[in-house]
Structure formats: C-alpha cells, structure tokens
Amino acid sequence: MTRFAAPIAEQIWDMKYRFKEADGTAIDRSVEDTWRRIARSLAEVETEPKVWEEKFYAALEDFKYLPAGRIIAGSGTGRAVTLFNCFVMGTIPDSMGGIFEMLREAALTMQQGGGIGYDFSTIRPKGAAVKGVAADASGPLSFMDVWDAMCRTIMSAGSRRGAMMATMRCDHPDVLDFIAAKADSARLRMFNLSVLITDPFMEAVKADGPWDLMFDGTVYHTVEARDLWNRIMRATYDYAEPGVIFIDRINAANNLSYVEKIAATNPCGEQPLPPYGACLLGSINMARLVSDPFGDAAGLDEDALSELVATAVRMMDNVVDASKFPLPQQAAEARAKRRIGLGVTGLADALLMVGLRYGSDEAARQTERWLHAIARAAYLASVQLAKEKGAFPLFDADKYLESGTMRAMDEDVRDAIREHGIRNALLTSIAPTGTISLYAGNVSSGIEPVFAYAYTRKVLQKDGTRTEEEVVDYAVQMWRDRFGDTPLPDYFVNAQTLAPLDHVRMQAAAQKWVDSSISKTINCPEDISFEDFKEVYLSAWDSGCKGCTTYRPNDVTGSVLSVSDEKKAPEVVATDDAEPQQPHGDVIYMSEPLDRPQQLEGNTYKLRWPDSEHAIYLTINDIIVGGRRRPFEVFINSKNMEHFAWTVALTRMISAVFRRGGDVTFVVEELKAVFDPRGGAWVKGKYIPSILAAIGGVIEEHLIFTGFLEGEGMGLKSDPKAQVVGLDLPRGKACPSCGQFDLRMIEGCMTCASCGHSKCG
C-alpha cells in the first residue's frame, strides 16, 4: 500500500528527494527509507539517538512534518551539501576589489545550491566620482549584470538552479533605474528585485511630500515621494517587479535587533537576514492534522500540533550542526544565532476541511489562532532545548525580551525564556512550498489559497510516450472520497476567484505570529485598475505586512497557465506556385518510408533570432499522400558558421524522421521543449526558451499551414491547452525543465505543477 496520496507525489519524490547512486540506482527503496534516512541522520547528535530517531520518524511519517527539499534530499547521504535554503551575502564594499570578492563568494554559495540575497545600495551611484582614477562610477546595476551572468554560467555548468534577490533602498540615487530594470525583458533574468521601503518614505508618500535620493550623505536628486511610489507601482503592475519590502518594519520586529541590521532577504522574501545570514526551512502540514474533515466535528488537533511542532523544532536545530556551509562566515553566523524557519503548508486545505472560506474574516481569525499556537509551541520547545543544550551564543535575556516580536509574546513564554534562555533566536517563517506540497499529495501551498481544484498534466513515460493524469487538490480529493460527486460548497474558493484584498487579509493575519516573514503572492486579475492595484500595496502596509508581492497576468509577464492564442504565420520569403491550402486538421500518416520524388512542394521561412547577426532559413518540403501535404524533409541554413554543425545534424535527423512516416509531430514537441540555460528571447510578444524551440515553432506553423495540424498545440501529446477543472483558463509559458504549460506564480516563485521545477531552486 503506497503512502503517496497521488501519482504526482511519488514522481516528485523519485525525481527530487530519493537517494540514488550517481548512476541512478535507487538506494531509498521506498519513501519510508527516505524518512528513516532523515530521522537517523538528524538524531545522531542526540544523547539518546535511537529514541529520537523514532520520534523524528513519526513526525515525518505520512508527510505531517515536511523539511525543506534540501534537507530531504541531503540528510544522511554523506554528501558534502548544504542543508540550508537561504543566504544573504556579506555587505558589498564600495570598491572594485571588494565587489569582485563578493562575486566570488556568491559563486561558491550558488555552486552548492543556496539561494542568495544582496543589498546593492552600498555601491555608489552611476556618475559618482571614483577617487584616484579620474573616472565616474558605473553604478550598482552594471555590477548586477555581472552577477546575473555569473548565475547563468553556473546554471549552464550543470549545477543547481540559481536564485538571487537584489534589493535597493528607496533613497538610493539609482533607484529609478533599478525600478525600471525589468522593462528590458533580457536583463537581470536571474534576479528577483525588491525596493527597500522605509517608514519615512511611506510617511512622505501619504503626505505627498518631497524625497531626497542620496548616497554617503550627499543628496543627488530630490523627487516627489508619491511620484516615486507610483513608478514602483507602475513597474510592478506592468512587469511583476520590483517587489516591496518594508525594511524598517522588518528591523523593528527582529528579535535580534540588538546585534544585527537587516538590509536584504533571500530570493523569495520570507527570510530577512543580516550579512552572511543563513536559515533552514520546514513546514507543518496543516491538512494532515484536521480530524473529521468536512464533518460536524471537524477541527485541528491542537495537542497533536504542539507535539509535532516541538519535534520539528528539535530536528531543525540539529540541522544547524549537521549541515555543511559554502563559506565559514555563514557557518559562524548560523551557529551564533541558530535561526530556523518553521512554517506551514496546507493551510487553505485545512480551512476548507473545517468549513471556512479562505480570505474571510473568520478564516483570518482562525489562521491567526493557529499560527499563534505554532509560535507558542515553537518558542517553548526552543526553551526546553536551551535547558538541555544551552541558549544560542549571542543570547542576552534583557535585550532579547525587549526586541522585536518578543515584546508581544505571551507572558508565560517570556518568563520561561527569562529563566532558561532560548536555543534559537528566531523560529518561524512561511516559505515557498511548491514542490514539497506536491510531494505531500498536492496540498495547498504554504498559506496560499488552493490554486485550482484539479488540472490535467502530461506525464513522460519511460518509453517516451506521454500519458494524461488528473491532479486533484488534497482537500478536494477528500471531499470526493467522502461525498462522491456532490458539488463543492460555496466556501471553496481558489486563486483565480479570490479578491486581492482577501489575500492581504490572510497574509496580515499570519504575519502577526511569524517572527521572520512570509513568502506569498497576491494574485490580481489582469483587468484590475491601476488605482485598485496600488490599493493592494497600501493595504499591505496599513495591515502590518512586512512586504508585498503581486502577480498580474499581462503581455509581458504572461498569463498564469496562459499563452496568447493568436497564431501568426512565419514570414514566407520563397515558395512554389502551389495554391496555399487552408488548415483542415486531417493528419495524414504513412505506414512505410517513401523514396524522395524528383520534385517536391515546399516553403522557406526566415527566422530572425534576437542578438544574432544572421537569420536562419528553414526550407520544409512536403510530399503528397492521399491528396494531402505532409512533411518529408527540412533544410536549415545560416551564414553563422557557429551554427554549422548543429544545423547540419538537425537537418539530417529531422529529415530522416519525416521520411520514416507515421506520426512525426513529436519533432515539434521535443524542439519546443528545449531550454537554453543562457536564457531565451521574446519573439513577437511571446517568450521562446531557445533557438531550437523557435525552430520547432516554425515547423509547427508549417504543419498548421499545410493542414497537417489543426492549430498550435493541437495534435501534440506534450503541448496541450492544459485545462483546469471548472475554469476556462488560457495556457502559460512552457516550463524550462519539462516543457509543460503548468507554470504558476506561487509565493513569489514560478513553479511547475508537472515536475516541481521552480526558478527559486
């Protein structure tokens, strides 16, 4: 009997978390082996390892506690990997030598798979004088371009995906260029961008006052605060970036404000960290803790929750000692403060199971109560660890209790900390859980609403074929199991139907008892007005959030699960005298390979790839079978000699496939799924992941023109218009990993529902 609630869960485990030899031979025979490996590894530092191994295993069993992916994949493997997810790098010095030393440290960290954050506000603005060399500074964005290239290089070398956050203060003289950077679709693709918003700036915005842009005490420009705010909002409205981080609020709420100052976050924003700060992540699966789901006695088992939280805190504390670190400064920082980031996933599912509508006032109140219970349990568990193993080295009782969120903590918890100390300086954070939520049976992700009740995905089989399977939200499946085909109640809502301010209400409710921050995406409809869009951010500020990230589908960002349906034929530069045929959708198959006739009908297409000096020309010749045209051969030519070898190879291979006959549409599928790690390009308003994908698109257009295919994606096994049950949604961009059109913006990360790929690692 499998422990997995859905086929996709087992596939994610096998692809991402199962311990295997270098040749792919599985060492973990089952998910129980994975749980045992993690439990045994994290119990090794205990004085009674066998006792704690069993308790850790019980917490992991049936996906109740979900360590972050790096912990699941790396614990107990003996491999020199970091189990930490989040890093903020050291402060960038305003000198050429210091800047490139920071670049080296970033490369070493990303090589081990860590997502990193940087504050680029410390670099002097463009045009500022550089003493001693009679030159002007190039500004922080020029160095961000260097970081971006480094990240792409590491990705192309086969290491883990890179993810970076760049922040800049709202009073830096180059902040206007920073805000507009993502208007160039080819620039800074490896970065998430966020502006550090201060309290005085928000006061100036509300008062419609002036705002000085300065560096090192020198005022470079004075602008209108509201105008600067509107520019941030307009860029976010148009390009989904930059995000907004309320940095003064973060520092005021920091338990360690007496020993550190924060100026950056990890890539998804849930971990504001000091220089060289590091944090590990894990989540309580709320959906697994609801008793009698959808019944009269439905409720969260809070005793079980407290016990599970206490065990999870102990496991995470042990990770601090078990993990390797890319840099010694990161190891020292982690062990001096022993930060952990325990969060939740499956919150929306749990709310549904107890009959509450996500986004309602009652759901927000229940969320606040649950998160309060988790915070209490986590802090008390850390006090117990301090009694056994000692408080974190930088603990100072008087200063700690008067810092950050500790000032609002329950008095009995404060008394316990005052008497015994605390093992971990900060304990709670709500991280992106896109992949581990799939691994746990497609529970709702983090504190996000249910994305969709169900959707279909294409699964690549070992024989190369693709099959279709339905992926159902965990709570929806439980409803089906209990009530069959009975329609879902009115309180079932999802990300497509939820009002933006309902998102804000839920984020604010959770934030009250989260001592770090929250990774959350506020989905906005494409037709939201600019004024209403700005209101989302002001509401986030007014309600106490530490930051705000939105996603509004549009022509630049792409729709969630959407691609433009507009079909434009490629430019035809040469053709024979044959009459063009109208697409009719009749696919013609050949059962035997055919010899080449003396004369063939065909078309030549010109493909211009951005930043390429020479165009590529594709000639596709067709054969007439049963009165219908079907592809028979292709010729690919370019004056660029760097393309010579692969264009000749592609010409021969595709032509050989075409001449064999049968269903040759898989050629289009495979080419369109090719991802260039250096980045793709925008062509005619659509993002194409590689030049090979562009060639696949041209071949597809030809097949449509000749009537071999009825339309884009139609007749292809791996290029469907992915349907979300109960919704008529268009498609989104193809996943760069698996090629499926299942990318969603979840918790600030583009995440693929088919394979779990996330740009955030």
Output the pLDDT for position 24. 85
Query: Cis peptide before 242, with omega less than 30 degrees from 0?
Result: yes
Of the given ranges (34-48, 103-117, 479-493), which has the lowest mean pLDDT? Answer: 103-117
Tens of pLDDT, residues 179-224: 999 888 778 888 999 999 999 999 999 999 999 999 999 999 999 9
The DSSP output letter for 758 is: B
Match 């015994």 to its residue by tokens. 420
Query: Has residue 29 been placed in a domain?
Result: no
Contacts of 396 (CB under 8 A, 6+ apart): 258
Output the pLDDT for position 723. 32
Using pLDDT thresholds of 50, 70 and 90, give the confidence band for residue 655: confident
693: domain range?
Answer: 572-705
How many domains, in total, are found in the chain?
Answer: 2
Output the pLDDT for position 7. 87
Output the pLDDT for position 257. 96
**C-alpha dihedral sign at 45, 49, 51, 53:** positive
Query: β-pairing, 278-285 with 340-345?
Result: parallel
Of the given ranges (109-123, 246-260, 400-414), which has the lowest mean pLDDT? Answer: 109-123
**Contact predicate 462/364, CB 8 Å:** no
Query: Has residue 321 been placed in a domain?
Result: no
Give CA separation, 171 vs 95, 153, 204, 391, in Å. 20, 32, 12, 38
Give CA separation, 155 vs 147, 263, 759, in Å. 12, 26, 11
Of the given ranges (319-323, 389-393, 600-604, 643-647), which has the lowest mean pLDDT? Answer: 643-647
Query: Has residue 350 been placed in a domain?
Result: no
Q: What is the mean pLDDT of residues 9-30?
A: 91
How many whole angstroms separate alpha carbon 203 and alpha carbon 1? 59
How many whole angstroms separate alpha carbon 732 and alpha carbon 742? 7
Domain boundary among 705, 721, 750: 705
Query: Has residue 16 been placed in a domain?
Result: no
Domain boundary among 659, 677, 705: 705
Q: Burial code of 337-371, b = ≥16 C-beta within 10 A, e = fewer?
A: bbbbbbbbbbbbbbbbbbebbbbbeebbebbbebb
Tens of pLDDT, residues 539-554: 999 999 999 999 888 7
Give CA separation, 160 vs 151, 428, 678, in Å. 10, 26, 14
How many whole angstroms separate alpha carbon 630 and alpha carbon 622? 5
Of the given ranges (9-18, 107-116, 415-424, 722-731), which has the lowest mean pLDDT? Answer: 722-731
The DSSP output letter for 26 is: B
How many whole angstroms separate alpha carbon 749 and alpha carbon 241? 12
| Mean pLDDT, the chain, integer | 86
Domain boundary among 705, 729, 749: 705
Tens of pLDDT, residues 426-483: 999 999 888 899 999 999 999 999 988 988 877 666 665 677 888 899 999 999 999 9
How many whole angstroms separate alpha carbon 74 and alpha carbon 324? 10
Query: Has residue 598 been placed in a domain?
Result: yes
Output the pLDDT for position 721. 31
Query: Has residue 159 been placed in a domain?
Result: yes
Query: Has residue 27 been placed in a domain?
Result: no
Predicted TM-score of the model (pTM): 0.77
Tens of pLDDT, residues 261-292: 999 999 999 999 999 999 899 999 999 999 99
Determine the angle formed by the axes of helices 328-337 and 302-322, rounding to 10 degrees.
140
Using pLDDT thresholds of 50, 70 and 90, give the confidence band for residue 732: low
Q: What is the mean pLDDT of residues 237-243?
A: 91
Output the pLDDT for position 708. 79
708: tokens are 């071999």
**C-alpha dihedral sign at 433, 434, 438, 439:** negative
Question: Would you name the residues annotated as active-site residues?
Answer: 266, 268, 270
Query: Has residue 596 been placed in a domain?
Result: yes
How many whole angstroms separate alpha carbon 547 and alpha carbon 316? 26
Classified as helix, coil or strand, 342 is strand
Classified as helix, coil or strand, 135 is strand
